[in-house]
Each structure stands twice: as structure tokens, then as C-alpha cells.
Amino acid sequence: MKAAVLREVKKPLTIEDVRIDNPKSREVLIRTAAVGVCHSDLHYIEGLYSTPMPIVLGHESAGVVEKVGSEVRYVKPGDHVITCLSVFCGHCEFCATGRPFVCESPETGRRKEEPPRIEQRGRAMPQFFHLSSFAEQMLVHEHALVKIRDDMPLDRAALIGCAVTTGFGAVINTARVEVGSTVAIIGCGGVGLSAINGAAIAGAGRIIAIDIKGSKLNLARHFGATDVVNASEIDPVAAVKDMTGGGVHYSFEALGLKATAEQAFRMLRTSGTATVIGMVPEGQTIEVDAADLLNDKKLQGSNMGSNRFRVDMPRYVNFYLEGKLKLDDMISRRIKLDRINEAFDEMKRGEVARSVIVFDP
């Protein structure tokens, strides 16, 4: 199969032939239909997070089941599915206490003595977050996917695999935004727009979108923002405090930057909660004023929207088909796999909300 391979940090991905195995007992072989180009992948390309190489990246995907292992009962060939990097075992401490999104995944990969899921010229290739979606096919554990309705368009379903689950989930599951509350979201890419959409569906009274691109702020209004702040023109913290009379109840950082994570905390009102959604690079620290902690202000992280993806994702599908979740407008462009490096270049320039790679059926 064709796949986009990362061989060296800060170098373009290369389109290569790799071999994928047949499914074993609890594995599922998926024909990839669509995969979103996510900023998290870019972090690994730029070396901000470490990974063994060569590796097939990609994790925000949807497709159609081609084959299943002998013990799989959840899906069958022909089923439409969304993948999720929050693969769960079902019985570790975290799964057993209702936190499958931080599962230790002790049994969801192949053992060292087993043949690899992906290889090239006889050499095993590591699997990116148990998925490796920048490829024509994926071989995954059955607990890395969720079955969805056949009438859901798969290019839009792919966005639910990460951007929506991460942004929407951070609002609903992690922060538990209350009806009528004030919310600020920093960063209006795919994750930030999903957080805005989630805050609107949750009934937030005021939703302030913050970005440096006017085009993204215009899009944010369509997703539910009541106010926008262009951070290239004014201090976003001062602007939010002025607009809300002292700060917001909830803030969300969706860029993965130290400076904006600290801004998210500083724009809170007393007893407010800041949630960092973006992947701040490894090794960096986030600094807060200790006196703010005495005012009951909270800074927290969110792992993939604190999801229970087998429950959450079908609900997001229903929200889309009911016209509540605005996935059509999140897709800036649809491309083929061989144009993947263009998509990352556009992402670095801040020009797109989401590019989606689509494969021929």
C-alpha cells in the first residue's frame, strides 16, 4: 500500500510502498477513506515531540472495514468506522475507573515476538498512536475504532477522530462548561473551532474567539462565537477582561504554545478554569502567578477531550446530521495523499482550518 513516511525530522514526508499484515484475532483491517492533517502530526515532523523513525504518521481518520480477526464481534466487513488514538484495553486501572482516554494500552499492540503490523522490505515500522493513518489501509485493534452510521460522509467523519473529539470534548467532558457561562477560546483551527461549536451547543452565554487571522475569526463566528479578538492587534488578556468585566469562567488554549497557555490562565475570573488542549512542546514549562491560585483559579490539561469515544463519537455524528455540528465549514480543502506536504506548509502559515486527505474508494 501507499503511505506517507517520516524519515527525518524537519524533512518532507515521502510517499512509499509499505506492507501491511492481515488481522489477527482482535484486529481490524480498514480501507482508509479520509484522514485529517492535524497539527499534532506537525509537532512530530518538526521534532517538538520524539518518535522512532521511519514511521507512518496520521491519526484523524475514517474508513470502511475490509477484514476482521477471528475474535472480533463488534464490526464486520463493510462497516463504516472512525478511528481514535485513545485505544483502550478495557480492564486497566484507568479503564476500570471511567478514564479510558488515558488507558495504559497493555495489550492493544502486537508483542515483540509477533510479526509487525507494518513493515517495509522486511523491516518493522512502528505504528503511530496504534493507527498510522497516512496510508491506504490501517491495521488496528478493535478497541481503536467506533462503528458509525452509513449515511455519515466519511471525509467529515474523519474530523471527529481527533479535532472534534479533542475540542468539543474538552468543553463538555473535561471542563464541563455550564449553561450561561463565559468562555474564551485561543486558536481557531480545527480543534479551536470544535471547542467553539461545543461551547455553543452546551449553552455558553458568551463565547470569545481569539486568533491572529481575520479569516479564522470570521469562521469562528459561524461556529458560534459571539465575540472575536484579533491578538495581532490588541492584548487578548486585557481585551477579554474588559469585555467580561474581569475575566471568563472558562478558557481554552488550542494552539499548543507556552505564551498562549499562560494567557488562557491570566484571562480567568475568580474561580475560573483554564484548559490547555494544544500540545505544548516537550520540555517547556507553563508559569502562573501563585497569587491567582488563592483566587481558586485552575489550570488543567485535557487528553483527547477526556473522551469515551465509543459513546461520544456517535453522538457527534448525530449532531452533524442534525445540523448542529458544522463540519462542512471546517474543511478548507480536500487533497490526495501525494500533496500532504503542501497541507503542512499551509498549516505552518496558518492559512487553513483543516485539510483532509481523501482516498479513492
Using the Cα atoms of residue 170, residue 172, residue 173 and residue 175 in order, give the sign of their dihedral: positive
CA dist., res. 188 & res. 185, Å (int): 8
Using the Cα atoms of residue 170, residue 343, residue 60 and residue 224 in order, give the sign of their dihedral: positive
pTM (predicted TM-score): 0.93
Query: Tell me, what's the pLDDT at 361?
Result: 76
Query: Tell me, what's the pLDDT at 280?
Result: 84
Query: Tell me, what's the pLDDT at 141?
Result: 96
**DSSP-assigned letters across all residues of 22-39:** PP-TTEEEEEEEEEEE-H
More confident residue, 350 or 54: 54
Query: Tell me, what's the pLDDT at 281?
Result: 82
Give residue-wise pLDDT tens across range 122-145: 999 999 999 999 999 999 999 999
Query: Region 310-334: what's the mean pLDDT?
Result: 95
Give residue-wise pLDDT tens across range 68-104: 999 999 999 999 999 999 999 999 999 999 999 999 8
Query: Tell me, what's the pLDDT at 222?
Result: 94
Report the catalytic residues.
38, 40, 43, 59, 162
> What residue ranges define each of the domains in the chain, with the CATH number in brackets?
2-147+331-358 (3.90.180.10), 167-302 (3.40.50.720)
